[in-house]
Structure 1
Amino acid sequence: MQSGPERMQPGGGRNAPFGALERRIARRYLGARKSEGGVAVIAAISFVCILLAIAAMIIIMSIMNGFREKLIELTIGSEGHMYVGLLSPDPGPDRIRELEDRLSTLPGVDEAFEFSENFAGIQANGQLTLGRVIGIRPQNLDEFPLIADNIQSGSLDGFGQGRGAAHRIAIGVHLAASLGLSAGDRLRIMTSRTRSTVTGPMPVMKVYTVGAVFNTGLYQTDLNYIYMDLDQSQLLFSNGRKSGEIQMRLIDPDQLEVAARQARDAAGEPVLMQTWKDRNSTTAQALRTEQIAMRMIFIVVVIISTFPILAAMIMLVKNKSRDIAILRTIGATRGSILRIFFLAGSMIGSLGTVAGLAFGIVFCLHINVVQGIIEALTGVELFPADIYHIDTGIPAKVVWGEVAMVALCGFVISAVATFFPALGASKTDPVEELRYD
């Protein structure tokens, strides 16, 4: 039977690396009061700092993801995610229908349909302006909730119906205001196509009835966009010829590269291709910049939050230098000392990270409840729907990949902040520490 103090040698059981003995000593050091050389108060402060930093980043990144999703939804709510154009000047209805069917069945594609897009002069009540005329089938227009769900006056029920001047179209609220129009009024659309008359070439034009006025909340869309039946649009702008343009809507608007590659293969011939990011390059670049900036800020915040851990470990090593010397004299190796203090610091960082993750995720999943409580206490509406065009409260989308990245960074940065004081503790010379005791 071994006599004397238990020697801390590597091996199985209690004295194994990171074993029960080393963990117990690490816990005792963290929980010790200041009078005993411990750093319990500073350790608690460090824990709270890590918790708040991790939780704040989860909440902020989730809210930014939610706003990003809403911004994309608003930006492309009246447009497609991808556009495929045949190079043939008159591909014919059979070829268009075949391409529609092929693109619609691709993985990740929600729908694909023919459309047309032209610029034209819009005239009414003595006013003239330029507008973008979108030709689309009525059933496809219903798939654009930003338009279909935001009709300010009139209705889409009769969209594309009517004969002659009674043919019903939909226009934006700002375009209607600039021309003094409301639902039921008539306007004239003038194209760049001309026809010969006795007085010379005249632009082809036609009168239409405003069947619906929509208000998307996007100024450029509400000022410039006009929707009309696809057949009418092709008759007006190209004398009935097919445009050869297919609009695609994806299940995930960010999966553009994969969808583009699949669409080119499905077309079986050279095609022109454009994505929503190409058409909204400024918005797309702003979103990319925002993501990069948020990740940089996150790393800086987590690094700053580890400073209390670094200070706590330096103080703990200084206060426990005599204990370190005693442990060394009874057989503890430098590796064992390093592991004890590394465990002590890692406990703070790990527990703070886990608690921060839990708090941040729960906060995001119940963010509308939190918003309601704050609004009830302050009497102030945090996100007015008429300003932000978000009627579902604060948008928050938890991306689990980003949560994993936050957790990994929290663990790694905390471990790095702990390692160097622990390394210093392992280099303590027991002879020098005990010389005058």
Structure 2
Amino acid sequence: MTLRKIATLGLGVLLGTLLHAGAGFAATVTISCSATGHDLAMCTQGAEAWAKQTGNQVKVVSMPSTGQLALYQQLLSAGSSDIDVLQIDVVWPGILAQDLIDLSKYAGNKTAGDFPVYVKNATIGGRLVAMPWFADAGVMFYRKDLLEKYGVKVPDTWEALTAAAKKIQDAERAAGHAKMWGFVWQGRNYEGLTCDALEWVQSHNGGSIVDASGKVTIDNPGTVTALKMARGWVGTISPEGVLNYSEEEARGVFQSGDAVFMRNWPYAWSLANSNDSPVKGKVAIAVLPKGGEGGRHAAVLGGWQLAVSKYSKNADAAASLVMYLTSPAEQKRRAIEGGYASTIEALYKEQDVRDAIGPFADSLYDNLVNAVARPSAATKTRYNQVSTEFSGAVYAVLSGSTDAAVSVKNLDAKLRGLSRGGKW
């Protein structure tokens, strides 16, 4: 199946062929790159630099913003060699692992400097099926001007956040800001809710839905406590409409100046501080709160990785491209020129990188150290089903249609049925 044929099926793939002058290249490698923001330009620049350095030829496939996983699955199930290097979401290694090569022999010790959680997430059945490329983790945004105005410390626990949000929200409303809310987050029933809720659960020591061995662990007191807590926010410090919020809806409220705290991804930083933002210069970032004094800070792992299709006719050259793009030098370039968060711990200590990432470099680093991977490695091809069941159960609690303990028990039974005795 060719990409031209796939495009005729309405999958909307845009092919961009980047040809290099001169002869003598060893191989032609095709890489898929996201078209979101300046992702495509940054990816293209890196790929072209590799081609120039190695004498190879590179082609770039610009991927659609949605439907990438389905497209990859179609290509791989057909044994297509049309794409050699795949840019994959952090939750896809387990889903696509059987069609990706083991990069261990190419990586050597190159993963030693990466945040361990990324390497673990990309290792399926003892095989390194992807290399970490750029990082992401859930963070807490807050209005530093309002916390200072009301003498409130940055909350370290969810209980403290709830109290601070209520105090400032009520005071601002009394002062005439009728639209002010204490806390906005992602409450729509989709993958974003899986991320938020897993952070609540993990912060209360409730586990990661399914543990590394494949055992379903969701039915525990920590999970119930976390969901009851979040249910208590709806209609008090969070609007009822939060149940329809994704990242952008939450950002819209916060950036308009109508919220004190926000859970989101680091991408919102530059937007909140853009020239036309009402909250420019008034925002700060901190680690997400703990679930009480006995809890832990927990941020769900996001980000993207690079993998090589096992159907590639140029696997060695493709792996070479992956190693180049994920190298410290290239990740540093991307951090400085594009503001991308590196997966390499040491880069967060370099001043030029810190200057590029901005004043949240330390908070982002702390969040990545405490990052929690969604259970995609353990659940493999059934991760999407697991995530859908989890977010649905959480949403039922948040919307008030089901008691937390009942919803968690029902979820546990469904996931055990999916797992076939832990055999995902």
Greater C-alpha Rg: 1
Q: Comparing both structures, which one devotes a greater share of its residues to helix? A: 1
TM-score by length of structure 1 reads 0.24
TM-score by length of structure 2 reads 0.24
